[in-house]
Structure 1
């Protein structure tokens, strides 16, 4: 059962203009490459049974825009997201802990390219607040580092003097503002 303070009940959806889902990965051992997904659906349901979360993002909405050949390879190639066959990345959880100290743990299943694996993210939670117009908002920021190979994202190119072109560890982070529905 989830621990929440103050109590959070009802259905909340992502406030898209105020939410960011990002991935970051080491590039050529010299820098970090990051991109965000613009088309994201996220829903949180909270009641006496606990907190449940479900989300999906459209791979084609990744912020990589140029060069076009690079974007095509990342979005559509089986080496990476293979969006023609797997247009969405999904996450589901019925094991969400929002603790009184503001920390959060979200445990669930992450599906990328048709591969579903257990996933745990840690972060923070902001209790619901009312806006001047009577709407109710809350926020969650969580992150986790995963090995992209666990989801079949295996592409790699060796660097001439050793090392890899692209890191295998990927930082997934979500900064999500949620608005209560109804």
Structure 2
């Protein structure tokens, strides 16, 4: 199979994150608006072309005050940096259905090389005859690498917001006819 264009099915996909809060609890959130450009053979991603964009103003942690704080200059500063983007630069097969996908992640005016583990979950045909492919993506970034350093010290020691952000995507894409 050769590379084909795949259109992200955003209604069956998610972009989520989690971060330590107060050094011992985990807060989760996600983004409601994102898009991707994918040209790939889903059974062999090593020759794929992948780019991804997230609208940072679409952050949703199920708490309006926290979401507004994340949109502010203390964190994402969406007025000046509305998008987070990722463009794959190297894809290495590490297992039958797993890949290390390395690329340029741009966030808050900084661009760094990051690697995510991408698992090909399979393909199938939906009830309307569309070929679909599923992928899961996992990785970690340090928010301080991107100038996201706002924090508050805790009385007992430590800080309010952890530096490591866990990222998890569940993606479904439809092969372009």
Fold similarity call, TM over 0.5: yes
> Of residues 25, 41, 50 in structure 2, which corresponds to 1:53?
50
Counterpart secondary structure, 1:60 = helix
> Which stretches in structure 1 are left out of the alignment for 5+ residues?
1-6
Q: Secondary structure at the match of 2:60?
A: coil
| Unmatched runs of 5 consecutive residues or more in structure 2 | none
Counterpart Cα distance in 2 of 1:56 and 1:161? 39
1:104 and 1:142 in contact (8 A); partners too: no
Contact 1:26-1:166 at 8 Å conserved across structures: yes
> Is residue 139 from structure 1 mapped to residue 134 from structure 2 by the alignment?
yes
**Counterpart check, 1:75 vs 2:64:** no
- For 1:12 and 1:131, the matched residues in 2 are separated by 15
Candidates 109, 113, 123, aligned match of 1:128: 123
Partner SS state of residue 157, structure 1: coil
CA contact (8 A) 1:52 1:96 kept: no
Aligned partner of 1:43 in structure 2 is 37
For 1:64 and 1:126, the matched residues in 2 are separated by 27
The offset of 1:100, in angstroms, is 6.5
Tell me, yes or no, if the aligned pair for 1:8 and 1:128 is still in contact at 8 Å: no
Which structure is higher in strand share?
A: 2
Q: Please point out which of 73, 80, 84 is paired with 1:89.
A: 84
Change (3 A) 1:8 1:61: farther
The aligned runs of 1:22-41 (5 Å cut-off) are 22-41=16-35
Residues 51 and 94 in structure 1, CA contact (< 8 A), matched pair in contact too: no
Which residue does 1:4 correspond to in 2?
Answer: none
Alpha-carbon spacing, 1:46–1:19, altered in 2? closer, same or farther (3 Å): same
Q: How well do the aligned residues superpose, as a CA RMSD in angstroms?
A: 2.0
TM (norm. structure 1) is: 0.87
Output the TM-score relative to the length of structure 2.
Answer: 0.89
C-alpha distance after superposition, 1:68-87 (max 9, x if no partner): 3x32221122x210000010
**Aligned residues, how many?**
174
Q: What secondary structure is seen at the aligned counterpart in 1 of 2:70?
A: helix
